[in-house]
Structure 1
Amino acid sequence: MSFIRSYVVPEGFPDSVTPSYVPYMTWRALKHFFGGALGVFTTKALLSSVGVSRNGATQGAVAINWILKDGAGRVGKMLFARQGKKFDYDLKQLRFSGDLLMELGAGVELATTAVPQLFLPLACAANVLKNVAAVTSTSTRTPIYKAYARGENIGDVTAKGECVGNIADLLGTGLSILISRRNPSLVTSFAILSCGYVFSSYQEVKSVVLHTLNRARFTVAVESFLQSGNVPSLKDGNAQESIFSPPWSKNTPVVLGPKFGEAFHEPASFLAVKPLFEEERYIVTYNPSKGKIYALLKDQAKSDDILKASFHAHVLLHFIRLANGKQSLKKISDSYQLERKESSSNHAIPTNADFLDHIAESCRIVSSSYAVFKKKAADQGWIMSESLLNPGRPRLCELKEL
């Protein structure tokens, strides 16, 4: 047992890692088990397809096809690597999306058996998908292991975690080789193993407990604070984070760091809101024509200002929803558009005036509750000195008179 432990758990276990390490590694091992098993069938399908598709071609031609397939995958990996910081902002969402791409790539590889004459384009597409998934897995691996390491043992935690994954992969590969000798249905085998892989991947990602606040976890924390006055614990906050919301989705009610033209549909709106934020390094407003709340950042904004701006935006969102019977902002926006059309026939142009009271009230609430929120969040273990809210690049600059 001592010999086995030296390969699969970090030194000093369980005191050297956080409590959530065991469930994460359990699901990770299961995911690699299904992945290894699935790899046998996909490799067998590719080898069979390339052998059929060559139609008497030389071995050199077959080798070129295989090399081109791998080359396409490497190109896809390089292109996707430019996402960079997004791997930190939406780690769990990208990690799960990467695993879904991995299964999609495996499905495309199996499809080569049905149309072997299209081996090269299908194999290239599959390899691009799988290499993109590999970039996602590699890029998100270190932050996850870092969250589990206690002290300066990140190297040990990473090494043992990868060892567990490799052991599970070998076990899955061995079992799949034994099963494949009986020539089972490729479709049935793929369906069963793929379902096991995706389910394990989802549970693996859900078991990750991170201490930083990205947009999803910040939304959970603020909504809990506004409704109950309490900030959820690290475990509860991570458990409530949505994994299925893709980071590239634009259907979010709060936009952090937008362009000026997106936030204000008319100059009067900006002039009405601006005096409320003279002392702040941001401006929060609601654009009823788009049904979204915008938090614009001034050029002097620091990390805490970005956090406060996002907090303020969620407070305003809370007030508007309460005032409208907890309707979604889309319904509120649709209602506004209807009123705008009716009033335009009477030559009246509505502005943000109806929402100024909510914005002013949110300013009063934020001034008294933001420090309380930060303290309660820090007491629960959340890191408040820095955040991963992924603000946009545009900043408001003050115009100085000559």
Structure 2
Amino acid sequence: MMMDFEVQPLCTESYGSRSAQHYQPLPDGSLNCVPDRPEDQAYRSLRDIFTSVFLPQGYPKSVSPDYLAYQVWDTVQAFASSITGTLATQAMLKGVGVGDETSTVTAATVTWILKDGTGMLGRILFAWSKGSKLDCDAKQWRLFADVLNDVAIFMEIVAPAFPACFTLIVCTSGFFKCIVGVAGGATRAALTMHQARRNNMADVSAKDGSQETLVNLAGLLFSLLLIPLVADNLCLTYSLYGLFTVLHLYANYRAVRAICMETLNWARLRLVLCHFLRWEKVPDPALVNPQEPLLPGFRQQLSMTLGAPLHTVASSVADFQKALEGNSTNHLIFFNRAAGTISVLLHRQAGSVDVIKACTHTLILEALLCPDVSAFLVERESLLDLQHKLHEGPCNKDWVTVSEIHRLLNRIFPKFLTGLTEAGWIIDRNLLGPEEWRLDWTVPKKKIL
């Protein structure tokens, strides 16, 4: 008489985040693989195929926690952009003379070459003027790129209605679209770097491309059904453009808002520092990111230059010596109240923490120009006293206030830095975007024989 008994597994195995499977020994000495839930094998197989094709290996542990929310909304915006792009393409082809017997191939070719040439020029100029800033404010530039893309598509749709200005309109549109290409591509790379958590930036980028291709294919199939309906119906064309543009902008806003970055830029550092001064506690990235402004220049009281050259801020030895007085850090502050500017000089040996400290120094100085300093809990009396000196004292004594802020900063910054680390902020690198100028004011004097 044989008795049933439960065979104990030799080991368990899993692939990433998938359910575990067990290995049991059989009487003949071979191994038997037993999944946790055999009835779900078909469903798991389809899901696993989809995951392996369109999601990075090791998902979700190999990417940032905000990956799925961002990709969902990014997929929606890509679909909407694909539809409006199709409407623009139809209008452009009509504008260059497709279907018009009076139009020539030469005229259409010249128009297209001018459009592409103008766009190439725009690509170079924009990359030159804003390329170094795209990493620092990736969210803002990502949203900017999508808004500008909708503007460019609108110009292409309405261009056939203005035959006399058609070439000018499409060249301007091409100029805008190439700016979109630079801003969109650069910010996509910055966000991919943020999302990749296992040195798998290439895999995340490749799978993002696969997702976008799938969405564009779906948009293409939808467009095949849509084009016959809008071919000779301008009212429907404009209505569909408006509908999908609203969807595109909303999805982009939600996608950008879903991003939770742990590196500090000016906007996030300003929010973190303000919260710290008010409540004596550093907020975590999940609390700060939804408050980050998406419009450039928002809430900025002063014009700040990080990593400025000495000749732009000091014209005499006395000015330089005033900045050095009482300084024990790797940065110097030059404040011009009349011009509303703050210039920060960085030492040659300044690292990421030194840059964060320098920016904290400037933001405290900026906070003193606001009337709500009394709401701060950290060093309230000292801040109120400094605010009084800043507002009541003459401009030529501002360097004294800057020096006193420096001493205040030395008291509070260690606690602030510890709070940043404990809250989950990354401090060994930052997105504060300093210029490349570095100064060494500790050069030893040569002895004169």
- Pair in the same fold by TM > 0.5: yes
For 1:2-401, list aligned pairs within 5 A. 2=47, 3-51=49-97, 56-82=102-128, 83-183=130-230, 184=233, 185=235, 186-245=237-296, 252=302, 254-258=304-308, 272-277=322-327, 279-321=328-370, 350-353=394-397, 356=400, 358-396=401-439, 398=441
Match of 1:347 in 2: none
Contact 2:97-2:104 at 8 Å conserved across structures: no
Provide the C-alpha distance between the structure 2 equivalents of 1:302 and 1:152, rounded to a whole number of angstroms. Answer: 23
- How many matched pairs? 381
The letter of the residue matching 1:41 is L
Contact 1:265-1:287 at 8 Å conserved across structures: no
Provide the C-alpha distance between the structure 1 equivalents of 2:223 and 2:302, rounded to a whole number of angstroms. Answer: 43
Deviations 1:339-368 (A, max 9, x none): 99xxxxxxxxx4443673x43442232112
Report which structure shows greater RCO (CA 8 Å, sep ≥6).
1
Provide the C-alpha distance between the structure 2 equivalents of 1:54 and 1:265, rounded to a whole number of angstroms. Answer: 67
Provide the C-alpha distance between the structure 2 equivalents of 1:243 and 1:155, rounded to a whole number of angstroms. Answer: 27
Provide the C-alpha distance between the structure 1 equivalents of 2:297 and 2:290, rounded to a whole number of angstroms. Answer: 17
Provide the C-alpha distance between the structure 1 equivalents of 2:227 and 2:52, rounded to a whole number of angstroms. Answer: 33
Cα offset, 1:197, TM superposition = 1.3
Provide the C-alpha distance between the structure 2 equivalents of 1:239 and 1:77, rounded to a whole number of angstroms. Answer: 31
Q: Name the structure where helix makes up a greater proportion of residues.
A: 1
The letter of the residue matching 1:308 is K
Cα pair distance change 1:105/1:304, threshold 3 Å: same
Contact 2:338-2:395 at 8 Å conserved across structures: no
Provide the C-alpha distance between the structure 1 equivalents of 2:409 and 2:286, rounded to a whole number of angstroms. Answer: 26
Cα pair distance change 1:359/1:168, threshold 3 Å: same
Cα pair distance change 1:287/1:79, threshold 3 Å: closer
Contact 2:159-2:169 at 8 Å conserved across structures: yes
Contact 1:89-1:214 at 8 Å conserved across structures: yes
SS at match of 1:181: helix
Deviations 1:66-91 (A, max 9, x none): 23322332332233233432222222
The letter of the residue matching 1:221 is V
Provide the C-alpha distance between the structure 2 equivalents of 1:146 and 1:391, rounded to a whole number of angstroms. Answer: 20
Cα pair distance change 1:211/1:123, threshold 3 Å: same
Provide the C-alpha distance between the structure 2 equivalents of 1:266 and 1:196, rounded to a whole number of angstroms. Answer: 57
Contact 2:70-2:259 at 8 Å conserved across structures: yes
**Which one has the largest radius of gyration?**
2
Please identify, of 149-158 and 37-46, the stretch whose mean Cα deviation from structure 2 is larger.
149-158
Provide the C-alpha distance between the structure 2 equivalents of 1:101 and 1:292, rounded to a whole number of angstroms. Answer: 30
Cα pair distance change 1:393/1:352, threshold 3 Å: farther
Provide the C-alpha distance between the structure 1 equivalents of 2:440 and 2:285, rounded to a whole number of angstroms. Answer: 37
Provide the C-alpha distance between the structure 1 equivalents of 2:190 and 2:283, rounded to a whole number of angstroms. Answer: 21
Deviations 1:124-173 (A, max 9, x none): 21112111101111112222122222313323222222222222223233
Counting aligned pairs with the same residue, the percent is 28
Cα offset, 1:376, TM superposition = 1.5
Structure 2 stretches lacking a partner, 5+ long: 1-45, 376-386
Give the root-mean-square deviation of aligned CA atoms.
3.2
Contact 2:91-2:160 at 8 Å conserved across structures: yes
